[in-house]
């Protein structure tokens, strides 16, 4: 029996070690992982919640509290914590799962850290593939916690069904989020650490900024929730808003569009990774660009072949 056949059998039986092995194979780009992915596509319908915000906003602690709320409702929960990569090993270096240790003995909770591997959008290229595995494994809800890199965080909206932006009363947080474009992709807002000075001010800033934002699909109005993740204050109401947004997506037929955009993001991530790998091994070609002998476009065509024809359009 091949690796993929044996792994598929154990995966179907609900073996968490098989899930861990499958995630590792997918993240490393192993052929057995790709074969397994073909089998699991579309076999689950988890509610995918992206949790983003600047470093230090308390995303991990808030996610930990949201896990508790989901478990109270009988949901099986998975967490993908996308961490910055070590510049030496390429591995995840923050290990946000440390902040969620209370769940390590709960069989209904699965937490996995993934390295961003330099992905500019704060997400690892294998994130969407990992989501497919977790959905097929039977999880009801998946939280994807991003690196938190400011202006690049908008990618999470292409992957998650619901995007939760976590801000704090720190000076200028709302303004920076508005400048970064993150404000326009968030479906729900949490002002965490609301017990610190300035909480009411940032809520008012958010309300003013949202009045200037373009209308959301289906007329959704993003709610703003004051929270104190350390004590759990405001978390139940926040969770209810996550549920309300998912119902909104279902009622307005928006979920399928989210799934298609997720697949588009995955294809684009593969193309970007191929380009990065080929460029690293093309020192002579890059040197010709530096000397002005080739344009970057000519070099890219040489590495990747002709681009899409005009009538074919973008992916």
Check if the beta carbon of residue 241 is closer than 8 Å to that of residue 223. Answer: yes
Tens-digit pLDDT profile for residues 11-42: 989 999 999 999 998 888 788 888 888 888 87
Pairing of strands 188-191, 224-226: parallel
Tens-digit pLDDT profile for residues 53-89: 877 888 889 999 999 999 999 999 999 988 654 434 4
Question: What SS3 state is found at 15?
Answer: coil
Reference 57, options 186, 247, 222, 241; nearest CA is: 186
Give the lowest-confidence range in 21-35, 103-117, 163-177.
163-177
Between residues 144 and 57, the one the model is more confident about: 144
Query: Does 91 score more than 50 pLDDT?
Result: no
Phi, psi of 80 (to 5 degrees): -110, 110
d(CA 166, CA 268): 27
Please report, for residues 44, 200, 245, the alpha-carbon distance to residue 61 in angstroms, rounded to integers and kept in the order given.
27, 21, 22
DSSP state of 233: B
pLDDT computed for residue 1 by the predictor: 46
Beta bridge partners of 165: 52, 189
Whats the size of the chain, residue-wise? 315
**Global confidence as pTM:** 0.84
Average pLDDT of the chain to the nearest whole number: 81
């Amino acid at each position: 029996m091949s690796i993929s056949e044996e792994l598929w059998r154990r995966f179907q039986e609900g073996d968490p070690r098989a899930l861990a092995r499958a995630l590792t194979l997918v993240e490393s780009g192993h052929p057995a992982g790709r074969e397994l992915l073909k089998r699991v596509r579309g076999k689950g319908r988890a509610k995918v919640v992206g949790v983003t915000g600047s470093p230090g906003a308390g995303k991990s602690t808030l996610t930990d509290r949201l896990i508790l709320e989901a478990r109270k409702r009988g949901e099986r929960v998975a967490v993908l914590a996308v961490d910055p990569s070590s510049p030496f090993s390429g591995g995840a270096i923050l290990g946000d799962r440390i902040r969620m240790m209370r769940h390590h003995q709960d069989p209904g909770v699965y937490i996995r850290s993934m390295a961003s591997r330099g992905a500019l959008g704060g997400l690892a290229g294998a994130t969407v593939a990992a989501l497919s595995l977790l959905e097929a494994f039977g999880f009801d809800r998946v939280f994807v916690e991003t690196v938190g890199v400011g202006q690049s965080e908008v990618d999470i909206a292409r992957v998650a069904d619901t995007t939760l932006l976590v801000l704090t009363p720190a000076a200028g947080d709302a303004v920076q989020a508005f400048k970064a474009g993150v404000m326009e992709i968030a479906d729900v807002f949490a002002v965490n650490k609301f017990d610190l000075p300035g909480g009411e001010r940032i809520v008012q800033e958010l309300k003013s900024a949202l009045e200037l934002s373009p209308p959301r699909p289906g007329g959704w109005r993003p709610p703003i929730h004051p929270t104190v993740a350390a004590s759990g204050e405001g978390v139940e109401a926040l969770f209810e808003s996550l549920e309300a947004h998912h119902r909104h997506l279902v009622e307005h037929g928006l979920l399928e569009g989210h799934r298609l955009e997720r697949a588009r993001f995955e294809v684009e991530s593969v193309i970007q990774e191929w380009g990065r790998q080929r460029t690293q091994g093309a020192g002579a070609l890059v040197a010709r660009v530096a000397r002005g002998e080739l344009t970057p476009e000519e070099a890219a065509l040489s590495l990747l072949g002709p681009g899409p024809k005009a009538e074919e359009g973008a992916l």
